[in-house]
Structure 1
Amino acid sequence: MQCFNHPTEAIGICKHCQRALCSDCCTDLNDGLACKGVHEAEVTHLNTLIQNTKKSYSSSPRASLFGPIFNIFIGISFLGFGIKNGSEPFLMTLGAGFIIFGLAIIAYNTKYFKKITTNYDA
């Protein structure tokens, strides 16, 4: 593979424009090569986005529990009010539905985040 700008052998590809670059045309930014003086800012920005994405993935499994726990809490509340009001079927059914929905979301999120972290680590 030859350099996009020179008839010399390329040592890598610009992370922004995907052009082959020789050692004279590229800047090594540790996490990728960039066209010297042209795409350095863009590649630095891409590297920052990748690092931020890694951080957000690490906190996602914990944050995904807030919704299901809230649903379970609401379900228990409705179920309790239904029992307290003389076995009110509508409130008890609503409560059971919220609890089942919350547990289903927890099961889905556990499976989903296990799959994501397995694929992400590979």
Structure 2
Amino acid sequence: MKCFNHEADAIGICKHCQRAICKDCCTDLGFGLACKDTHESDVSMLNSLIENNKRAYESQPKATMFGPLFFIFMGLVFSYFGYQKGLDNLSFIIGVGFIVYGIAIFVYNKLFFKKVTTEYET
């Protein structure tokens, strides 16, 4: 493989433009090669996006808890006030619905995240 600028042998591929580059045309950024004086900032930005996505993915299990906990909490509040006025009250029924929905979301998130984690690791 030859450098796209020269006829010299290429040592790698620019992470931004995907062209073959020789040692005179490249800059090693430690996390990928870039065309010298052309794509260095683009490759740095690309790598920062990748790092941000990794951090977001790692925090995902915690984020999946907020929705179900909110619905269960609201279900408990509605159920409590509905129970105070009688079990046939609409508030009690809505509260039970919130609790069931919160539990269903919790179970779905756990199963989905387990599946995604297994696929991501393989």
TM-score normalised by the chain length of structure 1: 0.90
Matches within 5 A, 1:64-83: 64-83=64-83
CA-to-aligned-CA distance 1:43-88 (integer Å, 9 cap, x gap): 0111111111111111111122111101001111111222210213
- Secondary structure at the counterpart of residue 37 of structure 1: coil
Aligned-partner residue type, residue 36 of structure 1: K
Residue 102 of structure 2 corresponds to residue 102 of structure 1? yes
The Cα RMSD (Å) is 1.5
- Unpaired runs of at least 5, structure 1: none
Partner of 2:7: 7
TM-score normalised by the chain length of structure 2: 0.90
Residue 109 of structure 2 corresponds to residue 112 of structure 1? no
Aligned-partner residue type, residue 112 of structure 1: F
- Secondary structure at the counterpart of residue 65 of structure 1: helix
Aligned-partner residue type, residue 27 of structure 2: T
How many residues were matched structurally? Answer: 122
Between the aligned partners of 1:12 and 1:26, the Cα distance in structure 2 is 8
- Secondary structure at the counterpart of residue 59 of structure 2: helix
Moved over 4 A (4+): none
- Unpaired runs of at least 5, structure 2: none
Aligned-partner residue type, residue 15 of structure 2: K
Report the more deviating stretch, 82-91 or 28-37: 82-91
Partner of 1:43: 43
Residue 61 of structure 2 corresponds to residue 61 of structure 1? yes
